[in-house]
Amino acid sequence: MGNNTVIRPEDLATDDKEQILEAIRTGRVDAFVVEEHEGHAVYALQSADLPYSTLVQRMQQGAAMLNARGEIIFCNPSLSTLLGEVAHTLIGTPLQELLEPGDRDAFQKLFEATQEGSSEGELRLRHSDASITPARFSFTALSGDKSVIGVLITDLTTEKFNADLASRIQRVQDNERRGLARELHDSVGQLLAALSMNLASMRKELSALTPPQLALLEDTTMMVAQVSKEIRTISHLLHPPLLDIAGIASAIRWYVDGFSERSRIKVDLDLPSDLGRLSTDVETALFRVVQECLTNVYRHSGSNSCSVTLTRQPGGLQLTIRDFGRGMPQPVKGKPPSGIGLRGMQERLLLLGGTLQIASNDSGTTVTASLPVTDGAAEPDPQAV
């Protein structure tokens, strides 16, 4: 089987045509039957990733074959539907011309990169009515001499919509947390403060109280103080005011100090000295990852120590939380990590273009969160708790 062998039906005897078609049907030859301007042609391809035209024709994903000039020599019905064009009118059209002008240089780089191997990127399709469709383009050389390029085009409209919806839901949840924290602090907190003052006034009348009444007063005063402390802690955990006022570094230090005091688990904290302010979404995401991971250390690991490290990486930040406990069950490849908290962390990071990696064995668990970062985007909330 040669590289990019083009066999035109008019050059073949009837028996030869039947033999070639039978070879394609039985999989002995990887090929596409392509309709070009001049008529039908059979493209016999070496190491084709998409060997059967019938399969490609039925795919819901857009698929095309390009020649060395980037012109469409074949497209399946899904791609013509996505583009809103009749399939045969696309034959001979440079795929680059169907893109938003600002994406054409990126297309050319992806197309040229196929000479070295597969390439993938996100580009925008521009329709005849000037509407835009975001799409993922995956390029693969289908012939040994790289003269025929296969491209899969996936419509990202629904994915983008879902990501935007999830992002808005996440912001609503974060705002609700902030509101609940403020309400607990301002309303419940003030009521408890007033109750505490009333009890303090009663203490001035100690001579009028019997010993049992005095003991009850002391006990009630202690309970009010404890409830006030718990309400303040819950309020700050829902949304720490330091996150709005001073930024992620101060909020993490505050949380780690409180966590160590409550849990008796030693935490080694390593933060950049020049971290500065980040976007509100990024700071919230980093804080929630620290919060969830340390909670899991306390509940599940059995470790009496752990570490939290935040480092700057090219183009972003990397947050690493490591414990030395019993480890956790290995996640199944291709499936999200088990546990609502872990899935929540992963989804929050994905919305910001980040990633979550978990490595665990019987010596402990390491969670690594990576986020692209734009500096200096956060402003203090004047209504922060």
Question: Alpha-carbon distance 182 to 317, whole Å?
Answer: 29
CB 297 within 8 A of CB 323: yes
User: In CATH, what number is assigned to the domain containing residue 135?
Assistant: 3.30.450.20
In a domain, 383, yes or no: no
Residues 140 and 278 in one domain: no
User: In CATH, what number is assigned to the domain containing residue 304?
Assistant: 3.30.565.10
pLDDT digits (tens, 9 = 90+) for 156-213: 888 777 767 766 776 777 777 777 767 676 667 677 777 777 777 777 777 777 788 7
Type of residue numbered 39: G
Q: Count the helix, strand and coil residues of the chain and give each as a percent rounded to the nearest 5.
A: 45, 25, 30
In a domain, 385, yes or no: no
Torsion of CA 141, 142, 148, 150, to 10 degrees: -70
Residues 111 and 63 in one domain: yes
Question: Alpha-carbon distance 165 to 169, whole Å?
Answer: 6
pTM > 0.85: yes or no:
no
In a domain, 93, yes or no: yes
In a domain, 114, yes or no: yes
Question: Alpha-carbon distance 302 to 186, whole Å?
Answer: 37
- Choosing from 220, 239, 258, the residue where a domain stops is 239
In a domain, 337, yes or no: yes
Residues 309 and 207 in one domain: no
What long-range pairs does 255-259 form, CB within 8 A, spacing at least 24?
A: 255/287, 255/290, 255/291, 255/294, 256/290, 256/294, 256/308, 258/233, 259/294, 259/298
Residues 206 and 272 in one domain: no
In a domain, 314, yes or no: yes
Residues 134 and 168 in one domain: no
Residues 129 and 206 in one domain: no
Q: What is the DSSP string of 269-314?
A: EE--TT---B-HHHHHHHHHHHHHHHHHIIIII--SEEEEEEEEET
Contacts of 335 (CB under 8 A, 6+ apart): none
- Residue 373: is it exposed, middle or buried by C-beta count within 10 angstroms (0-12/13-18/19+)? buried
Angle at 349 between CA 345 and CA 355, to 5 degrees: 100
Question: Alpha-carbon distance 299 to 259, whole Å?
Answer: 12
In a domain, 384, yes or no: no
CB 152 within 8 A of CB 138: yes
Question: Alpha-carbon distance 66 to 95, whole Å?
Answer: 8
What per-residue confidence (pLDDT) applies to 277?
85
Percent of the chain's residues with pLDDT above 90: 15
Nearest to 327 by CA among 354, 276, 353, 366: 366
What per-residue confidence (pLDDT) applies to 45?
43
Residues 116 and 180 in one domain: no
Question: Domain range spanning residue 223?
Answer: 159-239
pLDDT digits (tens, 9 = 90+) for 224-280: 787 777 777 776 667 777 777 888 898 899 889 988 988 899 999 999 888 888 888
Residues 263 and 283 in one domain: yes
Residues 92 and 196 in one domain: no
Residues 223 and 255 in one domain: no
Paired tokens of 364: 């402990």
Count structural domains, the chain. Answer: 3
What per-residue confidence (pLDDT) applies to 53?
52
Residues 167 and 234 in one domain: yes
Question: Alpha-carbon distance 354 to 368, whole Å?
Answer: 10
- Choosing from 239, 273, 290, the residue where a domain stops is 239
- Choosing from 224, 239, 254, the residue where a domain stops is 239
What long-range pairs does 97-101 form, CB within 8 A, spacing at least 24?
A: 98/125, 98/126, 99/123, 99/124, 99/125, 99/126, 100/124, 100/125, 100/126, 100/132, 101/126
In a domain, 197, yes or no: yes
Question: Alpha-carbon distance 293 to 359, whole Å?
Answer: 13
pLDDT by residue for the chain (385 residues), tens only, comes to 333 444 444 444 445 445 544 544 444 444 444 444 444 444 444 444 444 455 566 677 888 888 888 888 888 888 888 888 887 788 888 999 899 999 999 999 999 888 888 888 889 998 878 888 899 999 988 766 777 888 888 888 887 777 677 667 767 777 777 777 676 766 676 777 777 777 777 777 777 777 887 788 888 888 878 777 777 777 666 777 777 788 889 889 988 998 898 889 999 999 988 888 888 888 888 988 998 899 889 888 889 999 999 998 888 899 999 999 888 766 555 454 555 577 778 888 888 889 999 998 888 999 999 999 865 444 444 444 3
Residues 83 and 19 in one domain: yes
